[in-house]
Amino acid sequence: MCGRIACTLAPDEVSRACGYSNRGGQRRRPRWRDGDADKYQPSYNKSPQSTSPVLVSQRHFDKEAPVDECVLASMRWGLVPAWFRDNNPNKMQYSTNNCRSENILEKKTYKDPLVKGQRCVILADGFYEWRKTGKDKQPFFIYFPQTPSGDKNKDQDEPETSSGNREESEAACSPGEGSPVLTEGEEEAVDEWTGWKLLTMAGLFDCWTPPDGGEPLYTYSVITVNASPNLQNIHHRMPAILDGDEEVRRWLDFGQVKSLDALKLLESKNSLTFHPVSSIVNNSRNNSPECLQPVDPSSKKEPKPTASSKMMMSWLENSGKRKAPDATGDTKEPSKDSAATSLKSTGLQQWLQGANKKPRT
């Protein structure tokens, strides 16, 4: 399953981080759909019913646009089918946060959007999952392996919890200053993004309009598959991951790739890494960098840094330089005192000081 995600990049950074390739192999940077950049609020701890950035074909909003041209949209997590007849979408009696890949063609809620080509890619820094041990639950943060810029070709050991597929990760470093969001009709070749490599999850979306009239509501569901071998000891399900530009393109290009062929992309992939995090993430009202910081659940000592975790620490340090989301999802400038307290209490400074040391196996 997937019940909590983190997406902390600013709107312009999301646009830069999710560059895509069209049918001709040309790299493009998607613009935000009009007004949607303002609807999205970065958060370290997003739960269902919150709004997240998704990548979709522009054809869904503009019938004259090429199918392989993509746009960023803000959509609410938890699919509300177009045929739902109540005026209040919150009165749905069943959960549509996740959609099992095995049941897509069996349930009207998901079959209808699939047949219409309403496929989307949910973008996130990563997602949280909980491992049950007796009466206790240990949360983990799960994401694409990250490689610090400049260390791409170095022989670095990954943590025991990682998939070990280091060759599949891309060079990344701390996000830089954001570039302007593209205006409507603009296309631009993409400079290589050197920030956090966003997780790309397959999903379905639908557009619901209140029966009595009103603004259309776009919502989505995360498609899940059986967990990959390296995640099975945490949970038996995981989001369907689209790994690489070609898989993202094929999932979104409903004009060239028909529904049944697209479903073949929904497989368990052993391409993610993870680390345990603090139980403060259990409460969705907690929204701070501490939600993502690695912990050692069996010891009070700080865990040894690894290639991906050092990237995480550098990224968290840099996030303090941007506007930090508060518990309500709004953004505000973090105070120097709170930032210093966070660094001291989590040992983040020690992690960063050891960033050049070769991690232990």
Q: Which two tokens stand for residue 164?
A: 């070990």
CA distances from 261 to 22, 115, 203, 205, 265 (A): 18, 12, 15, 18, 8
Residue 160: both structure tokens together: 């025991």
Residue 97 CA to residue 284 CA, distance in Å, equals 15
Q: Active site includes 129?
A: yes
- Mapped onto helix, strand or coil, the DSSP state of residue 238 is strand
94, with CB counted inside 10 A (0-12, 13-18, 19+), is: exposed
Question: How far, in Å, CA of 45 to CA of 285, rounded?
Answer: 8
- In single-letter form, the type of residue at position 277 comes to V
Give the pairing of strands 147-148 and 27-28: unpaired
2 noted as active-site residue: yes
Q: Which of 13, 129, 158, 247 is catalytic?
A: 129
**Catalytic residue numbers, as ranges:** 2, 129
